[in-house]
Structure 1
Amino acid sequence: MLGKTPETICGKARDEPKENKKSEVVKIKGTIKLMKKNVLDFNDAGASFLDRVYEIFCRGVSLQLISAVNGDPAKGLKAKLGKAAFVENWISTFTSVSAADATFNIFFEWDESMSVPGAFIIKNYHHNQFYLKTVTLEDVPGHGQIHFICNSWVYPAHRYKYNRVFFANKAYLPCNTPEPLRQYREEELINLRGNGTGKLKEWDRVYDYALYNDLGSPDNGKKYERPVLGGSEEFPYPRRGRTGRAPTKKDPHTESRLPLPNLGIYVPRDERFNHVKFSDLFACVLKAIGQLLASEISLFDTTPTEFNNFKAVLKLYEGGIRLPNWQTLTKLRERIPWEMLKELLRNDGEALFKFPMPDVIKEVRSAWRTDEEFGREMLAGVNPVVICGLKEFPPASKLNPEEYGNQTSTIKREHIEKNMNGLTVDEALENKKLFILDYHDALMPYLTNINSTTTRTYASRTLLLLQNNGTLKPLAIELSLPHPQGVKYGVTSQVFTPAEHGVEGSVWQLAKAYAAVNDSGYHQLISHWLNTHAVIEPFVIATNRQLSVLHPIYKLLHPHFRDTMNNNALARHALINAGGLLEKTNFPAKYSMEMSAAIYKNWVFTDQALPTDLLKRGIAVPDSSQPHGLRLLIEDYPYAVDGLEIWSAIETWVTEYCSFYYPTDDMIQDDCELQSWWTELRQVGHGDKKKEPWWPKMQTRAELILSCNIIIWVASALHAAVNFGQYAYAGYILNRPTISRRFMPQPGTPEYAELESKAEKAFLKTITSQNQTLLGVSMMEILSQHSSDEIYLGQRETPEWTSEAQPREAFERFGRNLVEIEGRIMDRNMDNKLKNRVGPVKVPYTLLYPNTSDTSKVGGLTSKGIPNSVSA
């Protein structure tokens, strides 16, 4: 635990001026690291020429140091400023075409009586912006080296109505900020909030809120109309970043959209992907263009929208789809430039659309079909966050019976006891051995609407038995539809039980597919999008609006917000919008986002803490003798076992860090920025939840630690657990279909006869079509990629992220702790007694492997590593 230090006492300045010091002007050398825009824009000759002209007549880029200690009596004790200095050799300094950092020297004249510099003003008189990474002052008298971590785009000075100010890497609570810096601190926050009006431009640095009113395109017809999410009881939602775009012509409440492929959606410039991330994304999208051309390829297929058999699905990974003649290429050239098309072809020019082999079929081709793997993926797959302990039999519903009638499960004891290894239902309940994957209540209210589209699906309940070897054995799957006379009359349900052979085995495989369809859609919409991407964005906005870069909690949380706003903006642009990829490839179709709004009604911030979540789901029970204060009922639950270690490591780090800056609870209460931050999060960012009593009051250090722990956990580990395994498990559509297109065949029908005679073909006709598969798998391949410049949990972009030794030492301990966890995860994966760690498909569970010790920055489809933030 970090101890209290005298300089953390609120109200005491950390740097006292030295009295009776004789004034002396000294020269201080500075080193600046930055990237020029002309490099990032592929050597823009015009910009380079204009910079040369600006260098000759305007002297380019100036920096002016600001005293952190002494004010100027002639200016009302406003901070003393040093003499402006100019960056040297801008044009003559070699700049790599690979967009590497460029280093420049600058020399300041500094009056020693001004003591230590705490900030600087920068003015860019060039034609173009540049990305300022760091400024380091060498050998400041009495203070040594001083670091300024900037990581910000600096546009030409005429683009700003204020001075761009950067602060040294020292954290201050608002009440102990040196007086000369206080005004700059407050003004910077005002600038970042903006005035709430107007269309925002790329150089604006404004963080503001808006409703999700940018998903629909009503001007394109009724088919593309979508409700506004947020701001109403019917459709509550977290807020997104404001862009200020004009409303549509047809609906003044809907914001107009940019046409594809325009990706210039406003997010604050420093929230946009850097050149490496954008390059990686562009390469992935370029590869995926082929999948978006599935309609052309289908012209050369005997069954345009269907796979004929399971072997045809494997061709996606083993050899691609072959293009038979030059006319095909000519057809494709009408849609995309030839240079792009060449990138899509293999070197031999024969195969197109060849996907990487998904992990789930890499070692064993057919193990995905087993019941053991079906149950294991609820604990160690891409969506291991929904399964619950069964508390009563038959499973009950929480839907209002006055509105939805009787929704109690129709699963009976005789359905399952024959398969319970000699146990009765009562014995299994008493011993907490029954579990359920339950999507009944989440889907039933929307099922009529969903099935009015091309989808034909059910609301599912899946019961499972925990066996003595630690695996889950499926017992029954219930598939339910609203009553034919109306939902107020309840449901009609069918119950299916395991079978291996004949048509009964084929029916059971279909029942598992319907359950997987539910799980896939819920995973993408809720576990992934809503519970990580959407809920975190208000924290990103509020942190930048209310917490100064000097604030210790800003420094703690900021790494965990990297790329999130840009990711979410792109998702609204092309994935979750009306007619977007998610609607085309997941079963809720046009009702996807409004269904997620209905589920957001039940979102509780404090339930996102992993121990709380496990207890609430009935997967664990309180146990003070255990390290985490709970005991898992499924001991071999890879997500929970690894997750609790990660959660505890984060908790230790956050506790040490917060305790250094907040020795007492009253300092929490007196921190004006912290209180404004928390109030805005509740009242605005998650404004539809502002009346909920479960929000921490932010009056104690324990509440601050818990809140920061949850934010970091959700942005890093939870997102990693539900995102980076998508391609590994769902890249093979047979394992996790995303759509069902017809109902379960009934005995006596042609569909049932087809299931008896051609089981594979009937299965493929039921689940995601060929074209939808190409789209969906392409999307999952992109989402599952790690960027080659990923920054993982336990890592920081620069070692000088703070000047204080004790927080740095605590962070180093955090990193070492994560490396030790990596070792224990690998040991568990090699333990043959733990059946759920690898499973029949031979895929070790590594989605919560921190990857802190790996500095290779390889990226790609690794299915391993916890990035700091919601970065994909």
Structure 2
Amino acid sequence: MVTYTVTVHTGTRLFSGTSSYIYIQLRGTEAESEEKNLNDHFSLGFKGGSVRTVEVECKEFLGELIHVKLSSKKFLNIDDQWFCDKILVTTPGNDEILFPCYRWLGCGEDLVLRHAKASLVFQDINPISQRHRMRQLEDLQEAFRFVDTSAEWDVYAEGMPHVNNYDSASALPSEVQFSFTKEIEFAYTALSQMIALKLERLADSKMNWGSINELDRLFSENNETIDYVQKHWDEDEFFGYQFLNGLNPMMIQRCSKLPENFPVTEEMVKDSLGGSTLEVEMKKGKIFLCDYKILDGLVGNVVHGRKQYLTAPLVLLYCDSHGMMMPIAIQLGQKAGVLHTIFLPTDSKTDWQLAKIFVRAAEFSVFEVDIHLLRTHLLAEVFTMATLRNFPFLHPLFKLLIRHTRYTLQINIMARDRLISENGAITTYSGIGGAALDELLVRATASLTYSSLCLPDNISERGLEEVPHYFYRDDGLKLWNVINKYVEGVLQHYYKSDDDVKKDTELQSWISEIFTNGFKGKKSTGIPETFQAVKDLIKFVTMVIFTVTAQHAAVNNGQFEFGAWMPNLPTALRKRPPVKKGQTNEISVLETLPDVGTTVNGMAVLKLLSTKATDHYPLGASLEELFDEEVPCTLIEDFRKDLNELTVAIEERNKKLELPYTYLDPRNVDNSVAI
């Protein structure tokens, strides 16, 4: 007889324990054990967080262990699920082998767990291993299935990335649903946030604001950033700062030639340029452009029974001698002429103020739909579905990516249902809701490129390498490099040559689904259709992890801070943009801004979208022990050290700033799109 020692770790999440009978069977290359009941004589079931050690006696040595099989049987006819973290098996030769689980096991079900050592498909040569690997992929593709068999992926709206086809979050496989803690605390409705903000009494009001200062009464909590925005929202310096470090740091670009439809003259901007000229400052690389042409022609939504107005502004900016990004000209439309006059800082206070308000409203539309929804949430869903459908648990890319998919499917289902559906909060309370939102998504998807998702390439393409005070770029590039170093180390450990990449059929299926369903099969996007080299795989995986962690944090976490003071980020505007100068005053500005009810509902949505959950896992943190080999385990520890060092550097930099930039501090970056 030979003895194997089995140590069973029950999860710590709520209701992880079970009263059911749990059985285990060990399978090796030479033989398999008898089924063993893991319940001992003195305890019933398994308590959450418990660790139990049991000896499994075998008639003979089993050979190299391939897998363990867990099964569950009811106690007293009670159907009680069990959440197993991991199984450790110590062999007769004192080798300890890790079998990761981190899944629920229901009564009458089986779970087959492979050891933690990762392998590529062509390396898994044992016939038993091969059969299990194929069965697992078949099961995964059945679990994460799609109704439209002709296209395999479900279509939410034509022209945008495909999505999963679950009608409700409760229909998702249990492993990808919210934890009980998050489910209880996260009532995904704008109403819940309005109640928390003590604003529900104002939700249905169609009254105008009597003055900008009336907005003060909406705030019951102290927040340094909100206070700063409230004090500085109408200052040109802060208006320009937000193009670099606000919610959308992705649109501004260096301007070497004015667009033909934006006829700014030297006379218009001579005062703003301190005696210099546009031509001279362009050659110095000091002139910048932000163009909202993607909104051109879109028809505004109806909010509170009243039509709202969308514009497609052009904004010209100048990086002055102090390194401040200052707006010097604004045109509130794409067609030059009498209907779209060019507003200047030298115009009347209310003319210039209202022009900036229309830009900030356009910013809300582009930011929420293109930069936030499409480029983080919807792409994260594509990456998640492709990962879950194409990588068995033994694949190194499954182990590398799975922690970055946490909660993404459920959060997106709930967002589609409660935010952008026919009666969703954004549809109901924003100018970009309804048909305009769908059209903007289609346009934004058509403009997606691989280089725009790779931060180093994106910064270079926009000509922003040398712009001062661009903290999103500075922190983002450092974080990109930290992620890239980690990804490179892990992937080079498993892919020894480009040929290994080419032979990995599971990897090729993964990128094929992403190319086809996320980027519409368009070669023009630059997204690879296949992988031919290790370096190309490293860059792509770096982009995936950066997108669902750092990029999402950068554009998501400050929504309430930058948008709580409504004039800085109005969700809708009730009057047409002015076509002539000298026709605005404080009253016309207030009549243009959202009414009271639209304001507080918009605040509630922004609060909802940027509230950190108590079960937040920052980048680098994970409860799952998926690797047990020395090289990847060491790389994970090095990754965490690099992240901690970046946190320290950002903290030191922020001590010197009037408005600290904290969104890319690794402590504030979620491991996945989980909010």
How does the TM-score come out when normalised to structure 2? 0.91
Please state how far the C-alpha of 1:298 moved relative to its aligned partner.
Answer: 6.2
Where 2:307 maps in the other structure, the secondary structure is coil
Contact 2:617 2:671 in 1 (8 A): yes
CA gap of 1:110–1:781, structure 2 versus 1, over 3 A, is farther
**Do structure 1's residue 522 and structure 2's residue 366 form an aligned pair?**
yes
* CA deviations over 1:175-224 (Å, ceiling 9, x no partner): 11251322111101001112998989xxxxx9x953344xxxxxxxxxxx
Where 1:776 maps in the other structure, the secondary structure is helix
1:388 equivalent among 233, 253, 263:
253
Contact 2:448 2:525 in 1 (8 A): no
Letter of the aligned partner of 1:84 in structure 2? E
CA gap of 1:364–1:642, structure 2 versus 1, over 3 A, is closer
CA gap of 1:167–1:453, structure 2 versus 1, over 3 A, is farther
Matched residues in 2 for 1:728 and 1:197: separation? 39
Structure 2 runs not aligned, ≥5 long: none
2:295 equivalent among 420, 432, 443:
443
Contact 1:36 1:129 in 2 (8 A): no
Aligned to 1:124: 72
Aligned to 2:315: 462
* CA deviations over 1:678-714 (Å, ceiling 9, x no partner): 2222234544536755426301001110110110110
Aligned to 2:379: 535
Contact 2:328 2:345 in 1 (8 A): yes
Aligned to 1:237: 160
**Do structure 1's residue 414 and structure 2's residue 251 form an aligned pair?**
no
Matched residues in 2 for 1:310 and 1:636: separation? 29
Where 1:728 maps in the other structure, the secondary structure is helix
Contact 1:131 1:151 in 2 (8 A): no
**Aligned residue pairs, count:** 668
* CA deviations over 1:321-359 (Å, ceiling 9, x no partner): xxxxxxxxxxxxxxxxxxxxxxxxxxxxxxxxxxx3454
Where 1:109 maps in the other structure, the secondary structure is strand
Where 2:333 maps in the other structure, the secondary structure is strand
Letter of the aligned partner of 1:382 in structure 2? L
**Do structure 1's residue 164 and structure 2's residue 87 form an aligned pair?**
no
Aligned to 1:770: 596
Where 1:194 maps in the other structure, the secondary structure is helix
Matched residues in 2 for 1:637 and 1:793: separation? 22
Letter of the aligned partner of 2:431 in structure 1? F
Contact 1:358 1:731 in 2 (8 A): no
For 1:680-759, list aligned pairs within 5 A.
680-689=513-522, 694-695=527-528, 697-745=530-578, 752=583, 755-756=584-585, 759=586
Aligned to 1:627: none
Task: Indicate the percent of aligned positions where both proteins have the same amino acid.
Answer: 24
Please state how far the C-alpha of 1:288 moved relative to its aligned partner.
Answer: 1.9
Aligned to 1:866: 669
CA gap of 1:210–1:668, structure 2 versus 1, over 3 A, is closer
Where 1:537 maps in the other structure, the secondary structure is helix
CA gap of 1:520–1:692, structure 2 versus 1, over 3 A, is closer
**Do structure 1's residue 280 and structure 2's residue 176 form an aligned pair?**
no
Contact 2:194 2:601 in 1 (8 A): no
Please state how far the C-alpha of 1:421 moved relative to its aligned partner.
Answer: 1.6
Aligned to 1:498: 345
2:233 equivalent among 342, 347, 368:
368
* CA deviations over 1:713-737 (Å, ceiling 9, x no partner): 1011000000001111112212211
Please state how far the C-alpha of 1:308 moved relative to its aligned partner.
Answer: 2.1
User: Which has the greater radius of gyration?
Assistant: 1
CA gap of 1:271–1:172, structure 2 versus 1, over 3 A, is same
Letter of the aligned partner of 2:85 in structure 1? T
Matched residues in 2 for 1:740 and 1:578: separation? 20
Contact 1:291 1:775 in 2 (8 A): no
Where 2:181 maps in the other structure, the secondary structure is helix
Matched residues in 1 for 2:180 and 2:473: separation? 36
Where 2:233 maps in the other structure, the secondary structure is helix
Matched residues in 2 for 1:147 and 1:731: separation? 48
Aligned to 1:316: 218
CA gap of 1:764–1:430, structure 2 versus 1, over 3 A, is same
* CA deviations over 1:34-61 (Å, ceiling 9, x no partner): 3698x47xx9xxxx8xx5xxx5xxxx22
Aligned to 2:100: 149
Aligned to 1:189: 137
For 1:24-103, list aligned pairs within 5 A.
24-34=1-11, 39=15, 60-67=21-28, 69-70=29-30, 80-88=31-39, 92=43, 101-103=49-51
Contact 1:134 1:148 in 2 (8 A): no
Where 2:113 maps in the other structure, the secondary structure is strand
Please state how far the C-alpha of 1:91 moved relative to its aligned partner.
Answer: 10
Matched residues in 2 for 1:507 and 1:95: separation? 69
How does the TM-score come out when normalised to structure 1? 0.71
CA gap of 1:685–1:155, structure 2 versus 1, over 3 A, is farther
Where 1:674 maps in the other structure, the secondary structure is helix
Matched residues in 1 for 2:217 and 2:388: separation? 48
CA gap of 1:826–1:514, structure 2 versus 1, over 3 A, is same
* CA deviations over 1:71-130 (Å, ceiling 9, x no partner): xxxxxxxxx43211223169956988xxx5344454423455213433222222234352
Structure 1 runs not aligned, ≥5 long: 1-23, 71-79, 201-205, 214-228, 231-235, 246-262, 319-355, 397-407, 484-489, 620-631, 832-837, 852-864
- What is the CA RMSD across the aligned residues, in angstroms? 3.1
Contact 2:300 2:308 in 1 (8 A): no
CA gap of 1:360–1:151, structure 2 versus 1, over 3 A, is same
Matched residues in 1 for 2:200 and 2:182: separation? 30
Aligned to 1:210: 153
Aligned to 1:568: 412
Q: Determine which structure has greater relative contact order: mean sequence separation of CA pairs < 8 Å that are 6+ residues apart, divided by chain length.
A: 2
**Do structure 1's residue 266 and structure 2's residue 111 form an aligned pair?**
no
1:824 equivalent among 649, 664, 668:
649
* CA deviations over 1:508-557 (Å, ceiling 9, x no partner): 11111100000111111111000011012121111111111100111111
For 1:638-677, list aligned pairs within 5 A.
638-677=471-510
Contact 1:209 1:240 in 2 (8 A): no
Aligned to 1:551: 395
Where 1:241 maps in the other structure, the secondary structure is coil
Matched residues in 1 for 2:308 and 2:433: separation? 8
Matched residues in 1 for 2:182 and 2:422: separation? 26
**Do structure 1's residue 602 and structure 2's residue 447 form an aligned pair?**
yes
Matched residues in 1 for 2:80 and 2:612: separation? 28
Letter of the aligned partner of 1:804 in structure 2? E
Please state how far the C-alpha of 1:427 moved relative to its aligned partner.
Answer: 0.5
Contact 1:26 1:109 in 2 (8 A): yes
Letter of the aligned partner of 1:171 in structure 2? A
Matched residues in 2 for 1:576 and 1:600: separation? 17
Letter of the aligned partner of 1:809 in structure 2? T
